[in-house]
Structure 1
Amino acid sequence: MKITVIGCGRWGSLITWYLDSIGHQVTLYGRDNSKHMQRFLKERKNDLLAIPDSVSLTTDLSCVKEAEVIVISINSQGLQALMDELKQYELMDKILVLCMKGIEISTGRRLSQIANDNLDFSNNVAVWIGPGHVQEFYHGIPNCMVIDSNDCKTKELLVNEFSSELIRFYYGQDLIGNEIGAAAKNVIGIAAGMLDGLALSTLKGALMSRGTREVARLIKAMGGNELSAYGLCHLGDYEATVFSKYSHNRQFGEAFIKNEPFDALAEGYYTVKAMLNLGKNYGVDLPICKAVYDILYKEKNAKEVLNGLFSRTLKNEF
């Protein structure tokens, strides 16, 4: 299968390496001013992995014309701008696979909605989500992930073509729930990092439990299956997001509390704005998201906000 991967950051480069390793013909695209692509062109590696010679590297976006599948791994807030760039190529009969986790702040659109809004009907869109870190996959540590799409044939094709002993893919059954759950888990990851920074890590169990219920309520209100919050897209991704030393969102939350510099992408920083907008639009209370937002954007005292979160009015658990 001929595949173009758009995005040469840590996840895009891992996807490129992985798809090449299971026998696909892969081209990795990055902008010519990207420091990541400049290094790949010079050394064919970054700080996490090496790209094999069998992979083509390019800064010419027209490479998408030759691909059967286009895998996208960029900042989720930049997806609409990328779709605008892709319009000139009049894509037909392609499969777009979105490997980011986020919600567009300005519109509340899920990423699959953004892609579909900008594509001819002959194309199909899927999402690739779930737990896992570059460092672990690259060193042969397996995990389970999810591929979901509104088109069953697309979903079946991708699961069959992308599965291996390293990544076992499950068929997603709820695109709304899977996308919202995947995006929201990054916000929970930031909250977990904040607890770490305050030496309150013991509260992560409560955070995981209540966070899942919070997201499940939103998924249900949006027309999805609330059980999706308990699957690989959300609860199943908590180990990699809430506890892992590799989690950018958890690292960011801890660094923020400790007033330490952090320059890596933490999608949850942007997603929390979109989550609160969705909560308001669908009439769903999102106390954990609001707490994270208040700390990040309103500069409220983190210890007071988080203590208040876990000492809310007593109520039944379910």
Structure 2
Amino acid sequence: MTRAAVLGGGSWGTAFAKVLADAGNDVTLWARRPELADQIDSRHENVPYLPGIRLPSTLRATADPAAALDGAQLVAIAIPSQTLRANLAAWTPLLPRDATLISLMKGVELGTTKRMSEVIAEVTGVPDERIAVVTGPNLALEIAQEQPAATVVACIDDDRAAFVQEACGTRYLRPYTNTDVIGCELGGAIKNVIALAAGIAQGMGFGDNTKASLITRGLAETARLGVHLGADPLTFAGLAGLGDLVATCSSPLSRNRTFGERLGRGESLDEAQAATHGQVAEGVKSCRAVLELAQHAGVEVPITQAVEAVCFRGLPPRHTVEALMSRSMKSES
């Protein structure tokens, strides 16, 4: 039995803790709010994030990070990407020696344009071969409901990826391994931005042709940037690329897509944020960092640029559509 800690009591952190417990591991979930940790620990529910989901009785929860990390062989981190550095600085002295660290986050850090695994390595000093990424079409509620799904475990150390794969494989979640950490992380981060664009189009009343075009061209700009940064182009045809992109652009469970819909209906960023009780979609936080990363690389990312303009430059969505549609003609290949 593997001892595992999950840091983050939101929907995905809780769902992944459930996966690990269902796979037979000894799991402790850390939640920032003591009352939420107590609820999970005593009632085996996380009502604010996964209402109606019964959590395994073997899953423990605590608001004490030291208690959660004590003796952990696997440490999965599921917190907002822009808060990772500060939280990790506090947690690093508590990390067990030789533990495998798993990033469940999908974002690019503002200011540094670093991927989440790069932030983990920089802050903790843990070598890259001890850091894994779990990504793919991971809509938390569906996984918590035990609907059949697949995911990707990416790590440059194939043996360690297989270790994490074994730890999170259940009858309802099938993990695949991949050594292309760059491609898997970029696919997970950029799809949030493309999902905002898909939501904006939905909010403006456009149909499936528009959505399919955004998904396909969004995948093209993700792959273009990823390959420039050293990713394997085949990664973007898999679960971490196309799979995650389709799920996030299509599902009403996607916070990025639903947030984009509000923007497409004419709400400002502040209005959309207020309507979602202060919760900002990850793509809003990451679009500037992704755009900065692409500009440094000299790679065109027109959809990302359009989303950033809507979110932070006050450009009306209809003007971004005109800008995208009037770009110079070119070959698809």
- TM-score normalised by structure 2 residue count: 0.90
Q: Could you say which residue in structure 1 is the equivalent of 2:15?
A: 14
Among 231, 240, 262, the residue aligned to 1:233: 240
After superposition, the Cα gap between the structure-2 partners of 1:243 and 1:90, relative to the gap in structure 1 and judged at 3 Å, is closer
Counterpart of 1:87 (choices 74, 83, 92) is 92
CA contact (8 A) 2:11 2:141 kept: no
Residue in structure 2 matching 1:130, options 116, 133, 136: 136
Pick which of 240-249 and 150-159 moved more: 150-159
Q: What is the CA-CA distance between 1:89 and the residue it aligns to?
A: 2.1
Q: Which residue of 2 aligns with 1:44?
A: 44
Contact 2:204 2:264 in 1 (8 A): yes
Q: Give, in whole Å, the separation in 2 of the partners of 1:265 and 1:16.
A: 23
Matched, 1:213 2:220: yes
1:196-275 → structure 2 map (5 Å cutoff): 196-202=202-208, 203-258=210-265, 259=267, 261-263=275-277, 264-275=279-290
Q: Distance in 2 between matches of 1:169 and 1:6?
A: 20
Which string of whole-angstrom CA distances, capped at 9 and with x for unpartnered residues, describes residues 92-141 of structure 1? 11011111101111101111111111234478110000003222223331
Contact 2:120–2:126 (CA under 8 A) maintained in structure 1: no
3-state SS, counterpart of residue 224 of structure 2: helix
| 2:331 aligned residue | 316
Percent identical among aligned pairs is 30
CA distance in 2, matches of 1:138, 1:162: 13
The 5 Å alignment of 1:1-318 reads 1-32=2-33, 36-37=36-37, 39-40=39-40, 43-45=43-45, 46=47, 47-63=51-67, 64-89=69-94, 91-121=96-126, 124-202=130-208, 203-258=210-265, 259=267, 261-263=275-277, 264-318=279-333
Of residues 251-260 and 102-111 in structure 1, the stretch that sits farther from structure 2 once superposed is: 251-260
1:298 to 1:265, Cα distance in 2 relative to 1, 3 A: closer
Name the aligned partner's letter for residue 284 of structure 1: V
Question: For structure 1, which segment, 115-124 or 102-111, has the greater mean C-alpha deviation from structure 2 after superposition?
Answer: 115-124
Q: In 1, Cα distance between the equivalents of 2:44 and 2:243?
A: 33
- Deviation of the 1:288 alpha carbon: 0.3
1:313–1:298 distance in 2 versus 1, CA, 3 Å: same
The answer to whether the 8 Å contact 2:38/2:61 transfers is no
Shift of the alpha carbon at 1:52? 2.8
Q: Relative to structure 2, which stretch is displaced further, 39-48 or 125-134?
A: 39-48
Task: Say which is worse superposed, 261-270 or 183-192, in terms of deviation.
Answer: 261-270
Following the alignment from structure 1 to structure 2, what is the Cα–Cα distance between the partners of residues 39 and 162?
Answer: 24
Alignment check: 8 A CA contact 2:38 2:62 kept:
no
CA distance in structure 1 between the aligned counterparts of 2:38 and 2:308, rounded to whole angstroms: 35
Higher alpha-carbon deviation: 202-211 or 219-228: 219-228
SS of alignment partner, residue 98 of structure 2: coil
CA contact (8 A) 1:110 1:179 kept: yes
1:213-243 deviation per Cα after TM superposition (whole angstroms, max 9, x unaligned): 1111111111222332222112111231111
Task: Say if 1:255 and 1:262, in contact at 8 Å, map to a contact too.
Answer: no
**Counterpart amino acid of 2:318?**
K
Deviations 1:181-222 (A, max 9, x none): 110000011000000000113301111111111111111111
User: What is the rounded CA distance, in whole Å, between the counterparts of 1:147 and 1:134 in structure 2?
Assistant: 16
TM-score calculated relative to the size of structure 1: 0.94
RMSD: 1.8
Q: Is the 8 A contact 1:92 1:120 kept in 2?
A: no
